[in-house]
Amino acid sequence: DTMFPEAFENGGDRVGLATALGFATAFLLSRP
């Protein structure tokens, strides 16, 4: 039901890297 499986199927490693960078950025920005 999510878009991740299709994104990984079409984008490959770059999608995983972008996702990881996005989560890391959000985590760093949310720290006090």
pLDDT above 60 (res 23):
yes
pLDDT tens per residue, range 2-13: 667 776 777 777
Model confidence at 24, pLDDT cuts 50, 70, 90, reads: very high
Structure tokens, 27: 């985590």
Q: How many CA atoms lie within 13 A of 28 on its CB side?
A: 6
Compute the average pLDDT of residues 13-17: 81
Please answer whether residues 15 and 22 qualify as being in contact, where contact means their C-beta atoms are separated by less than 8 angstroms. no
Q: Can you give the pLDDT at residue 30?
A: 96
pTM of the complete model? 0.56
Q: Can you give the pLDDT at residue 2?
A: 66
Distance CA 1, CA 20 (A): 20
